[in-house]
Chains A and B, each alone.
Chain A
Amino acid sequence: MWSDFFTTSVIVATLASAVRFATPFLLAALGEAVGQRSGVLNLGVEGVMLCGAFTAYYVRLNPSGWGWAGGMATAILAALAVGLCMGLLYAWMTLVMHAEQGISGIGIFLFGLGATDLLFQKQVGVPLPISGLRPIRIPLLGDIPHVGDILFNHNVLVYLAYVLVPVITLMVNRTTFGLNIRAVGETPEAADTLGVNVNLIRLGAILIGNALAALAGAALVMNTNIFQQNLTAGQGFIAVALVYFGAWRPGGVMAGALLFGLVSSTVLQLKTLGIVSGAASALTAMAPALLTIVVLVIVSRRIGQPSALTRPFDRNA
């Protein structure tokens, strides 16, 4: 039975599935990592993902109804716009009103869950399929045996997610904006004395985080070609956990997302091939979450979070 799993085709399919599976987690976690590096925790990632997912789905559901604007790019841009709007709302709550970040994030989550549920029921009703993003095989790279199928035959949002890893790494570590993000996340008072506009930097980080969370929702919809109430099913919370898993570094976040995706896709393959079934099947289904908890426990003992995480900044205080 196990020999069925250890065949080239199954292993290639499992690894390709892991890359695809990890994409929404990676996008959302990258954005959350940027936000947390600036000192802002957003537990509302799940709600923003849902809003982004519903927006992309709604635009794609009836593309002709939107005229020239009913294309794929419009759906993704609309999701991004919704993410930015939710980012502005969250920034107002946390930066202007200095609301407690944990509670505010849960409020955003509940709002996203309820709003998309309501909008779906009233505006859509039956979960009809849409035409999502098709895989694009990258010329030359996609022809490399096995590796091409694993890494270079995915839709554009999958590629974008992985391209964003070095981009965000460079932004955080090599740009003035990134330096300021780290500064306001560690010692906002010191950054302020050096002339850094703490809240403006945090606003930028929040907007990046929310835009990527909404994009993660759009990626989920474009991969599954469907929307349903609570589509994300906890993925946003797992993305927050992956930020800790990755020690607030884009590379670490990617490693965590890929590990989570790999365990999930391996479990799926094992069950699909009938290698695990019955009680073992139920137990293996817990493996991804269990692994995340174990690694979080280990990582959290070794690495400290940004010093000013969840701490609001008020220069007049």
Chain B
Amino acid sequence: MKRNPIGVLLALIAALALLASACGSDDGADSADEVDSGDTAESTSAESSASAGPLRVGIVAPSASNDLAFTQSIVDAVNAVAGDRELDIAVTDGTFIVEDAAAAIRGYAADGVDLVIAHGSQYGGPLQEIAPDFPDTAFAWGTAVDTFGLPNVAAYTVRADQGGYVNGTLAAQLSESGVLGVVGPIEVGDAKLYVDGFVAGAKAQDPNVTVNVNYIESFSDVALASEAATAHIQNGADVLTGTAQMVVGATGVAGPAGALWFGTQSNQTPLGPDFVVASQVYHWEVVLSEMMAEIDAGTFGGEVYTLTLENGGLVIEFNDGAGADSSVIDGAQATIDGIIDGSITTSDG
């Protein structure tokens, strides 16, 4: 039989491409190895218990585990929880495509993972279909406030407007031009909350400040975020902020242009040690610990958990290296205290 060289070649290319793609997007096991390779691995192996065994946690998230933004916030949080209790962690990241995420969620549930974290508001549809098929698996979904009335689905969300407000007051004080720029993804979820809070904080600090907001309609287009930041700077902005994983494009031009940057979701100081002033950091471990305690007690869902400055789930982390006026930074604590005691209202949220 004559072998068709074209067929062989195509098969080779397809195999190569699939291999590279699969390796690149990290399947659960591979990522779990990576996540577990640090301190977490030591704690989990050292505390290995013969009785109940570790709680198995599967994370499904849209972007890279080290994006210094949304996905990293949940991966860091689960690793933080693993410092206090025994966890067996697996991560499937890079699932911008909802169908891919749905397959991963179902796969974790079918594999007997105890808690499946669907870290993306876009995953709600598939989760609503999958969760009833696995009543003995706990599912967590965020950022969201809807549990679909299912007993094994918990939702988690964040009052991103609170940190946005603090960042906004700081930005208004540090701006010399009186023009601030915001690079947002799509006007939904915690991105909208953060941006609204930032604008409210800036306006509360200085009613005359101009805050230009640009939602670029993408969570992943780095080049577009870069040009949006450039447009802000060309329009006079000297302090920028933004949310979602594409902001690395904006920080890439903010620093060289001499603009200051305020981050959110994760600590973004590594993106600009000399111009990132402060970051609102999501410490999901606060709600994850509560959630896991409920699972231990036999309750798999039904609750909505919220990160706030009050419960310590939101923390403003400052970067001394940005050279911002220390009195301004010190003043931020008063704003934080005001939000916590309710004397400052950040938004309707």
Interface residues of A (CB under 8 A from B): 9-10, 13, 16-17, 20-21, 24, 93, 97-100, 103-104, 107, 110-111, 113-118, 120-121, 125-129, 131-132, 134, 220, 223-226, 228-233, 235, 264-265, 268-269, 271-274, 277-278, 281-282, 285
Total A-B pairs in contact (CB under 8 Å)?
Answer: 176
Known: A231-B223, A233-B223. A110 touches B216 (CB 8 A): no
Is the Cβ of A271 less than 8 Å from the Cβ of B214? Answer: yes
Pairs A–B under 8 Å by Cβ, sample size 18: A20-B227, A99-B13, A100-B6, A113-B21, A113-B24, A121-B66, A125-B66, A127-B248, A223-B223, A232-B223, A264-B227, A271-B213, A272-B231, A272-B235, A277-B215, A278-B187, A281-B217, A282-B215
Q: What's the tally of chain B residues with a CB closer than 8 Å to chain A?
A: 58
Contacts of B248 in A (CB 8 A): 127, 129, 226, 228
Within 8 Å CB of B246, what residues of A? 228
Residues of B within 8 A of A21 (CB): 227
Complex interface: chain B residues within 8 A of A120 (CB):
64
Can you name the residue of chain B whose Cβ is closest to the Cβ of A9? B234
Which of B249-257, B277-285, B326-334 participates in binding chain A? Answer: B249-257
| Apart from the given pairs A226-B248, A282-B215, 4 other A-B contacts in the complex at a CB distance below 8 Å | A17-B231, A103-B10, A223-B223, A268-B216
Which one of B6, B21, B94 contacts A98 once the chains associate, using CB atoms below 8 Å?
B6
- The answer for the CA separation of A210 and B284 in the assembled complex, in Å, is 44
Contacts of B224 in A (CB 8 A): 233, 264, 268
The 6 A-B residue pairs whose C-beta atoms are closest, nearest first, are A117-B24, A114-B20, A110-B17, A225-B252, A114-B21, A107-B13
Tell me, in angstroms, the Cα distance from A274 to B251 when the chains sit together.
21
Partner of A230, one of B9, B13, B19, B220: B220
- Contact, CB under 8 Å: B26 / A121: yes
Do B253 and A225 have beta carbons less than 8 Å apart?
A: yes
**Chain B residues near A (Cβ < 8 Å):** 5-6, 9-10, 13-14, 16-26, 63-64, 66-68, 94, 181, 186-187, 212-218, 220-224, 226-228, 230-232, 234-235, 245-246, 248-249, 251-253, 255-256, 270-272
Chain A residues closer than 8 Å to B234, beta-carbon distance: 9-10, 13, 16-17
**Which residues of the other chain, A, contact B253 by a CB distance below 8 angstroms?**
224-225
Complex CA–CA separation, A104 to B6 (angstroms): 10
B interface secondary structure, majority:
helix
Least CB distance from B266 to A in Å reads 10
Q: Is the CB of B220 within 8 A of A93?
A: no
A114–B227 contact, CB under 8 A?
Answer: no
Nearest A residue to B68 via CB reads A126
Q: B271, A128: Cβ atoms under 8 Å?
A: yes
Cβ–Cβ contact B23 & A114, under 8 A: yes
Contact between chains at B94 and A117 (CB < 8 Å): yes
Which of chain B's residues have a CB closer than 8 A to the CB of A274? 212-213
Indicate whether A13 sits within 8 Å of B235 (C-beta atoms), given known contacts A21-B227, A114-B21: yes
Q: Are B10 and A268 in contact (CB under 8 A)?
A: no
Do the beta carbons of A110 and B212 come within 8 Å of each other?
Answer: no
Docked Cα-Cα span, A224 to B223, in Å, equals: 6
A residues less than 8 Å from B63 (CB atoms):
229
B163: min CB distance to chain A, Å: 21
Determine which of B16, B20, B25, B227 lies in contact with A268 in the assembled complex, contact meaning CB atoms within 8 Å: B227
Known: A117-B25, A272-B235, A278-B187. A285 touches B216 (CB 8 A): yes
Asked if A226 meets B21 with Cβ closer than 8 Å, knowing A104-B13, A128-B271, the reply is no
Question: For the complex, what is the distance from the CA of A125 to the CA of B10, rounded to whole Å?
Answer: 32
CA–CA, A121 and B93, complex, Å? 11
Nearest B-chain residue to A94, judged by Cβ: B9
Find out whether the CB atom of A226 lies under 8 angstroms from the CB atom of B222.
yes
Complex CA–CA separation, A134 to B253 (angstroms)? 11
- Could you say which residues of chain B place their CB within 8 Å of the CB of A225? 226, 252-253, 255-256
B231-A13 in contact (CB<8A): yes
Determine whether the beta carbon of A281 is less than 8 Å from that of B22.
Answer: no
Q: How far is the CB of B215 from chain A (nearest CB, A)?
A: 6
**When chains A and B are docked, how far (Å) is the Cα of A223 from the Cα of B67?**
20
* B252:A265 contact, CB within 8 angstroms: no
